[in-house]
Amino acid sequence: MEIKILGTGCPNCRKLEQVALQAVAESGLDVKVTEVTDIEQIMSYPIASTPALVIDEKVKSFGRIPKKEQIIAWIKEAAH
């Protein structure tokens, strides 16, 4: 499983990455977290703003920082 954090490195993008890493640690699952900062790659996703969170190529959120519990739920959902 792979989580992508889409963003240009803004403070909210870094915060989302931290929350996602905490969620991965608590989920106990093997998840790779990747930061995507290339604007061309970011624009290939159907999002209106950053930061965005993508799990296995499915956009889960954009323009906000979801709660850690929500990210854990998405991870567990994607694992099934």
Q: Which CATH number do you get for residue 34?
A: 3.40.30.10
pLDDT 10s digits, 19-39: 999 999 999 999 999 999 999
pLDDT of residue 80: 83
Q: What's the number of domains the chain is made of?
A: 1
Task: Decide if 75 contacts 31 (C-beta within 8 A).
Answer: yes
Torsion, Cα 15 42 3 53, to 10 degrees, reads 50
Is residue 33 classed exposed, middle or buried when 0-12, 13-18 and 19+ CB atoms within 10 A define those classes? middle
Contact 78, 1 (CB under 8 A): yes
Average pLDDT, the chain: 96
Q: What is the pTM of this model?
A: 0.94
* Domain assignment of residue 35, given as a range: 2-79
The pLDDT value given to residue 44:
97
